Structures are given as C-alpha cells and as structure tokens.
Amino acid sequence: MSESIQLSLEQELNQRIFADQVKKLSREQAQEYLVYLYEQMIIRENMYQEFLKHEWSIGSDPFYR
C-alpha cells in the first residue's frame, strides 16, 4: 500500500479482528462470505457513482437541479 494511503490504527485493529474471524470460518463459509463482500463492494461503487453524478449534475439538466 502506498505511503499516502494508509490505514488508521482503528482500521488496522478492525482488519486484524476481521482476519481472526475469517480464519474460524469453514472453506464454504469463507467462499460465501467473499461473494457477499464482493456484491457489497459493487453496490457501494454504484452508490458512489450515483452520488457523483448527482453532485456534478452529470446526465441531467443543470437548470432543473
């Protein structure tokens, strides 16, 4: 990870806790969870895109903002 983008101490702790929890999952549970997390990443990305479109008035008439 680049030096300009680092995790906060709280994020590092949460990542460690998450890693410890994942180690306790069965292979099947971990695979299901990975698919779920990927879906959540896609949803979050879509939300960010919609937010930016709205904020930057992309794809809409700026006079009706």
**Residue 13: what pLDDT?**
98
The answer to whether residues 25 and 19 touch, using CB atoms and an 8 Å cutoff, is: no
For the cut 70, the answer to whether the pLDDT of residue 65 exceeds it is: no
Contact between residue 53 and residue 59 where contact means Cβ atoms under 8 Å apart: yes
Are 33 and 25 in contact, with CB atoms under 8 Å apart?
yes
Question: In the prediction, which pLDDT does 11 show?
Answer: 97
Section 11-20 average pLDDT: 97
Would you put residue 29 in left (φ > 0), alpha (ψ -120 to 50) or beta? alpha
pLDDT digit string, tens, across residues 26-60: 999 999 999 999 999 999 999 999 999 988 887 66
Domain ranges of the chain: 26-59
